[in-house]
């Protein structure tokens, strides 16, 4: 599975609780209407970067609230609500792929392991502190490895009374069928473009339309991309792709080795994403459509689209997707990028 995303390359920091995002109110209201019959295991699905985790935490806060109004929403003022807001509610547990070292410092890891799940099960057996409910959020649930998913099955099927599990998944198809079938599914809300742009402006993003296009409409992903280092790197790569005759694959790929060592694999992942989006936009432009992800390069894409042959472009795009899926452990990120860039150049004769 592909383990590196642009999320890793751009700096990401997720606060524990931020409340509902503007496009989530209606969906929360609809879901919480059924609070009295809340499923023990909920699978919250949707594309990366639309705020599923935030949504899950708000549902959790509502389930834990000691004084909810009739609409099921969290009151925001009771002790439970305040504990959730402070990230300190003992009856709320968030399970994420992180490793904690001896000094209690957490770093992101690839998998949610059986150790994570065993700790979760132990926690689920404890008596609730606030005597309202207990909620565990597992995000992203598809990062559970096979052993972890198997260990969770029994709890998923029959959690201790008053215990609710919320699994968050970008790609629910990667979860074992045994896990999927034990959950009730809920699709997380997706904002329309105007709402997403307005939210990004509120977060201090100057050119919301460009980053939103790059993130294919996912606002939280767009916010992560809206950092100067990421955009400068993208510009360097796309400017080079825009001019195949003068493109120097060795020189461009060498940028990977100039990046800090721990970012090289992620930069390769980002570069392959840029190439794939670029090729998708070439194909779209060729078909008389618009550039979806690289709107800021629409003018540069047009002349290239008239030169490139559709079938080789399609094959190359498929190679990029295969390479992206196998990126977990490239020995030489620079060499992988070089080879892909030489192939790109050949598309233009
Ligand atoms: Zn409350």
- CATH number of the domain bearing residue 231: 1.20.272
Region 297-316 average pLDDT: 96
Specify the pLDDT at position 69.
67
Asked if 37 and 170 sit in the same domain, the reply is yes
177 domain-assigned? yes
User: Could you tell me how many residues make up the chain?
Assistant: 349
Out of 1-15, 109-123, 259-273, 320-334, least confident range: 1-15
| Other Cβ atoms within 10 Å of 179 Cβ, number | 23
Dist. CA 170–CA 216, nearest whole Å: 14
Ligand 1 centroid–CA 39 distance in Å is 20
Domain that holds residue 325: 227-346
More confident site: 68 or 347: 347
194 domain-assigned? no
CATH number where 58 lies: 3.40.50.300
Ligand 1 centroid–CA 63 distance in Å is 9
Ligand 1 centroid–CA 19 distance in Å is 13
Angle at 114 between CA 40 and CA 266, to 5 degrees: 100
Confidence of residue 16 (pLDDT cuts 50, 70, 90): low
Using DSSP's 3-state secondary structure scheme, residue 41 falls into strand
List b or e across 15-46, with b for residues whose CB sees 16 or more CB atoms inside 10 angstroms: eebeebbebbeebbeebbeebeebebbbbbbb
Region 181-188 average pLDDT: 97
Ligand 1 centroid–CA 196 distance in Å is 28
Ligand 1 centroid–CA 310 distance in Å is 57
Number of structural domains found in the chain? 2
Ligand 1 centroid–CA 77 distance in Å is 5
Per the CB < 8 A criterion, the answer to whether 156 and 41 are in contact is yes
Per the CB < 8 A criterion, the answer to whether 52 and 77 are in contact is no
Ligand 1 centroid–CA 74 distance in Å is 5
Dist. CA 86–CA 80, nearest whole Å: 10
276 domain-assigned? yes
Dist. CA 274–CA 344, nearest whole Å: 12
Region 304-324 average pLDDT: 95
Specify the pLDDT at position 314.
97
Ligand 1 centroid–CA 80 distance in Å is 6
pTM, entire model: 0.84
Per the CB < 8 A criterion, the answer to whether 342 and 249 are in contact is yes
Asked if 287 and 172 sit in the same domain, the reply is no
Asked if 151 and 12 sit in the same domain, the reply is yes
């Amino acid at each position: 599975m592909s383990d590196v995303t642009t999320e890793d390359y751009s700096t990401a920091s997720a606060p524990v609780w931020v409340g509902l995002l503007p496009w989530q109110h209606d969906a929360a209201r609809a879901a919480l209407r059924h609070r009295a019959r809340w499923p023990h295991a909920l699978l919250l699905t949707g594309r990366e970067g639309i705020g599923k985790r935030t949504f899950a935490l708000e549902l959790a806060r509502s389930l834990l609230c000691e004084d909810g109004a009739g609409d099921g929403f969290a009151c925001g003022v009771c002790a439970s609500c305040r504990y959730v807001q402070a990230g300190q509610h003992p009856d709320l547990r968030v399970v994420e792929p992180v490793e904690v070292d001896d000094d209690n410092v957490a770093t992101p890891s690839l998998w949610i392991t059986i150790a994570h799940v065993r700790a979760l099960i132990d926690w689920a057996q404890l008596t609730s502190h606030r005597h309202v409910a207990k909620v565990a959020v597992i995000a992203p649930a598809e990062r559970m490895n096979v052993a972890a998913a198997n260990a969770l099955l029994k709890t998923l099927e029959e959690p201790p009374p008053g215990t609710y599990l919320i699994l968050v998944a970008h790609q629910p198809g990667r979860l074992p069928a045994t896990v999927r079938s034990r959950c009730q599914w809920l699709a997380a809300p997706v904002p329309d473009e105007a709402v997403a742009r307005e939210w990004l402006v509120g977060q201090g993003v100057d050119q919301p339309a460009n980053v939103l296009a790059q993130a294919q409409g996912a606002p939280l992903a767009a916010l992560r991309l809206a950092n100067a280092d990421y955009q400068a790197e993208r510009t360097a790569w796309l400017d080079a792709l825009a001019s195949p005759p003068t493109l120097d694959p060795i020189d461009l790929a060498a940028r990977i080795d100039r990046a800090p060592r721990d970012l090289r694999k992620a930069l390769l992942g980002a570069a392959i994403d840029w190439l794939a989006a670029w090729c998708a936009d070439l194909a779209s432009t060729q078909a008389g459509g618009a550039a979806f992800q690289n709107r800021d390069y629409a003018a540069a894409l047009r002349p290239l689209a008239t030169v490139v042959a559709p079938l080789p472009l399609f094959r190359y795009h498929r190679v990029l997707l295969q390479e992206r899926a196998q990126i977990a452990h490239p020995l030489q990120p620079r060499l992988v990028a070089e080879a892909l860039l030489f192939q790109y150049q050949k598309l233009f004769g």
